[in-house]
Amino acid sequence: MARVSRRSLLKVTGTTAAAATTGGLAGILASGRAPAYAQTSTVHWLKWNDFVPAADEHLRKKAIPEAEKALGIKITLETINANDLQARTTAAIQSKSGADLIMAFNSNCQLYAESLADVTALCEAVGPSQGGYYDTMKGNCHDGKNWISVPYCVIPGLIAYRKSWFNAVGATTFPATWEEYRAVGMKLKAAGHPLGQTLGHTFGDAPGFAYPFMWSFGGKEVEADGKTVAINSKETIESVKFMAGFWKDAHDEGGLAWDDSSNNRAFLSGTIAATLNGASIYIESVRRAAQYMTEDGKEMRTDIAHAPMPRGPGGASAFHGSQSTMVMGYSKNQKAAVDFLRWFHTPANFEPWFTSQKGFASGPTKVWETNKMWDEDPVMKPFRTAASVGRVPGYAGRPNQKAAEALTKYIVVDMYAKAVQGMAAEASVSWAEGELKKIYSV
Amino acid sequence: MRIATTRAPRLRLGRALLNQGAKSEEPDMASATTTTTMMRSAMPAGRVHQKAGLLEDERWFAAALLLPTAVLLGLFIAYPFFQGIWLALTDTRVGVPGNFVGLKNFEKVWNDSIFRTAVWNTCWYTFITTIVKLVLGLWLAQLLNRHFKGKAWVRAFILLPFIIPTVLSTFAWKWMFDPTFSVLNWLFWQMGFITKRINWLGEPDLAFFSIIVVNIWRGVPFYAISLLAGLQTISPELQEAAAIDGANAWQRFLHITWPLLLPVTMVVTLFSVIQTFADFQLVYVLTGGGPANATHLFATYAYQIGVGTGLLSEGAAISLAIFPVLFIVVLLQLLYIRRVETR
């Protein structure tokens, strides 16, 4: 019998394991990057799970196979939870490895500007030939000199409301000003169907409501120079005071804890009468028409209409969500990745994707307003031109890295949330001013 | 046949039984040498032979045995830790290698009102949950230490909150606290306790209360089971003797159970404090640090700044701010445990 003693076994396995551990990982550490898995001519595309699942299915089953055939490359699409996107992007940039194309939401691409490939040539080919990009898209994806991310689509936010409930309190047309909206909201809340909005830490709905609310009163974060903090103004204080009363009078007070999907559920379950949102509420009510009913047994979809946010003393405003695609600076496949984006944004190839959105997403350029898809459903019609009104955080300056920082810190959202919780308007605005100054002074 | 021997006295009896054919009943040093010689002669000559010689030296052998652990700890604990310190001293942003800026990040963080909120929150959160978890856990352990039907089942079930992945159970709690669909509100309303919805995660104080409740729910089983294990090492004779001497249940707990259980309690509390102080998942899922930053902890705020905003250096500074506090806590507790052990 061969003798395998405890010590000799330990010696052999121990040295092997140590060698494997130190050699392998030390090698990785020395090279300063994670092991490269897919750096052939495969383009790895990372984006969030589309809120319209049919659109991702279209990409997987049709668009990508067609692009692969047309361009002779391989494309891997990876879709993840929206909340994980930033963590993945940060990790990829720090390790200089990962997907070749990564989706960015709103102005997040500004946070990563130094790590992105210049896509000016592509954007200048696509934009002007398709009626020009919306200001929202240019604001988010352009750094003042170059395009840093390729506009993908706008996700406009409009107020979805229940026509019958608004009618019942005498509002036959949607209120045009915040004062009118508040008066209608008071009656609706008294009738047991308040307005619903979130002021929580959510990436979509809370900033989508708080920023344009401030702008429509004439408030702004900074002056046009993009440096001088200007939030502590009469207009902003007025807006915060208004919000505190408006919230109490007309809103579902649970909204402080809502996430991006809470208002959808509250609306579809018949708890709230109106909410600012993408088109997902209506689209869901159509998709499962039999599931969502009004109190008198009609399909809820027949009782939903859309309207833009009311005007304030400073005019009408909006902050629409938008998506863009970043070509990563570390990518070895930049050419193939850009080729794919060029292919995707060619009208003939983009149209089937655009149609699959059914109006949830508008195109990044104005030419898509004339698409026949908009004739399919009159309820979706207000979304057709919604993207043409809109600003981006950082107003009145440019949406740079500082503005993106203020956005991800929820400073404007929290300014309103604090007032709603009882802080004096002046105090909450001056708190926000202090926070913004810290960001802009560095 | 012979087996390799050790000098551990505890093994002697077993070895003696196995070594029936061996002449010596007391192998010790002499026998060990014989065995090694045999081992050597069984091995192929050359390089391996030299290595075996090297490993014969206990210092080298110990070092070799420690090496894998040291490498793992170095790579996954020490390297990130020092990298974190370095990051905190630079102005690194995501994708932009930073320059050394000294303590500027700490200064910025110190003047940050949200950071101060996070500090207070974390301290209160840890303090309250640790005390409640300890009391509840101890109480539960005492109950479980008794004999009753289905004891094994109950003990297994008690562990459930600890076994379920935190993110999953926290999502379940999130639904229970949902502002619109809360089952807790429904229950209280049905029972007639409330007339309007309780905004569990929307009011700052209530939201803080809610995350504390969930943390306690998740943490009690760890205390209960660990303390139960400790209780079972206490000889029942001591309790019986005290009872015969006329000590009541409270006196028996105070003078027998508590002091004997203290070392275990200290270790359990130590682990729990460290975990609670660095808690992330629970708050991230339930509130994301809101409403208006009322529930931010060190970890969630560091994540928001480091990953959400891309300010890696500031994020590192925030998470490093935990270190001195934890260091003191750990030091005090370890010193105490050592004193108990050497007594």
Q: Do B64 and A11 touch (CB under 8 A)?
A: yes
Q: Do B94 and A90 touch (CB under 8 A)?
A: yes
Answer yes or no: do A202 and A281 share one domain: yes
**Is A146 contained in some domain?**
yes
pLDDT one-digit tens code per residue, B55-80: 778 888 888 899 999 999 999 999 99
Chain A interface test: which of B309, B311, B312, B313 (most A C-beta within 10 Å): B309
pLDDT confidence of residue B50 = 60
CATH superfamily of domain region B104-342 = MetI-like (1.10.3720.10)
Looking at the fold, whether A313 and A259 belong to one and the same domain comes out as yes
**Angle at A111 (CA atoms; ends A105, A116), nearest 5 degrees:** 90
Q: How many domains does chain A have?
A: 2
Are residues A295 and A408 both part of a single domain?
A: yes
A 91-110 → B contacts, CB under 8 A: 93-94
Same domain assignment for residues A344 and A429: no
Q: Are A199 and A347 members of one domain?
A: no
Kindly list the residues from chain A whose CB atom is less than 8 angstroms away from the CB atom of residue B290. 200-201, 256-257, 410, 414, 417
CB-CB under 8 Å, B291 with A18: no
Tell me whether residue A121 is in a domain: yes
Is the domain of A374 the same as that of A304?
no
Q: Pairing state of beta strands A101-105 and A158-162?
A: unpaired
In a domain, A47, yes or no: yes
- Tell me which residue range forms the domain holding A281: 158-319+390-441
A265 at the B interface (CB within 8 A)?
yes
Token representation of residue B285 = 């899922």
Q: Does A202 touch chain B (CB under 8 A)?
A: yes
Is B288–A94 a contact, with Cβ atoms under 8 angstroms apart?
no
If you write DSSP's letter for every residue of B149-189 in order, what string do you get?
TTHHHHHHHHTHHHHS-HHHHHHHHHHHT-TTT-HHHHHHH
Q: Establish if A4 belongs to a structural domain.
A: no
Please tell me the distance in Å from A162's CA to the nearest CA on chain B.
18
The closest CB to that of B180, out of A1, A265, A329, belongs to A265
Q: With beta carbons under 8 A apart, name residues in chain B contacting A409.
A: 114, 304-305, 308-309
Q: Is the same domain home to A242 and A269?
A: yes
Contact B293 A431 (CB under 8 A): no
Average pLDDT over residues B134-163: 89
Asked if the C-beta of A177 comes within 8 angstroms of chain B's C-beta atoms, the answer is: no
CA distance B19 to chain A (A): 16
**pLDDT for B3-13, tens place per residue?**
444 444 443 43
pLDDT at B42 over 70: no
Residues A252 and A109 in one domain: no
Same domain, A262 and A185: yes
Interchain proximity B308–A86, CB inside 8 Å: yes
**Could A257 and B51 be called an inter-chain contact, meaning their C-beta atoms sit closer than 8 Å?**
no
Residue A92 lies in a domain: yes
Does residue A149 sit in the same domain as residue A181?
A: no
Tell me the ipTM for this assembly.
Answer: 0.79
**Model pLDDT, residue B4:** 42
Contact A380, A282 (CB under 8 A): yes
Residue B229 has a CB neighbour count (10 Å cut-off) of 13
Quick check: A421 and B305 CB within 8 A? Answer: no
Mind listing the pLDDT tens digit of every residue in chain A (442 residues)? Answer: 445 454 554 444 444 444 444 444 444 444 545 544 444 478 999 999 998 888 999 999 999 999 999 999 999 999 999 888 999 999 999 999 999 999 999 999 999 999 999 999 999 999 999 999 999 999 999 998 999 999 999 999 999 999 999 999 999 999 999 999 999 999 999 999 999 999 988 888 999 999 999 999 999 999 999 899 999 999 999 999 999 999 999 999 888 888 888 899 999 999 999 999 999 999 999 989 999 999 889 999 999 999 999 999 999 999 999 999 999 999 999 999 999 999 999 999 999 999 999 999 999 999 999 999 999 999 999 999 999 988 999 999 988 888 988 998 899 999 999 999 999 999 999 999 999 998 898 7
Do residues A191 and A244 lie in contact, with contact meaning Cβ atoms separated by under 8 Å?
no
Residue from B180, B200, B301 whose CB has the most chain A CBs within 10 Å, to mutate: B180
Closest-CA residue in chain B for A442?
A: B108
Query: Helix and strand tally (H, E) in chain A?
Result: 17, 8
According to the model, what pLDDT value does residue A420 have?
A: 94
Yes or no, beta carbons of A257 and B75 under 8 Å apart: no
Cα(A210)–Cα(A221) distance, rounded to whole angstroms? Answer: 12
Assess whether A106 and A150 both reside in one domain.
yes
Set of chain A residues whose Cβ sits within 8 Å of the Cβ of B79: 29
pTM to 2 decimal places: 0.79
CATH number of the domain residue A95 falls in: 3.40.190.10
Tell whether A30 is covered by a domain. no
Separation of CA B292 from chain center: 30
Tell me what pLDDT residue B52 has.
Answer: 64
Number of A/B CB contacts below 8 angstroms equals 150
Considering the domain boundaries, does residue A89 fall inside one? Answer: yes
State the Cα–Cα distance between residues A414 and A421, nearest whole angstrom: 10
d(CA B222, CA B205): 26
| In chain B, ranges of CATH 1.10.3720.10 domains | 104-342
Pick the residue of B94, B173, B205 with the most A CBs within 10 A to test the interface with A by mutation.
Answer: B94
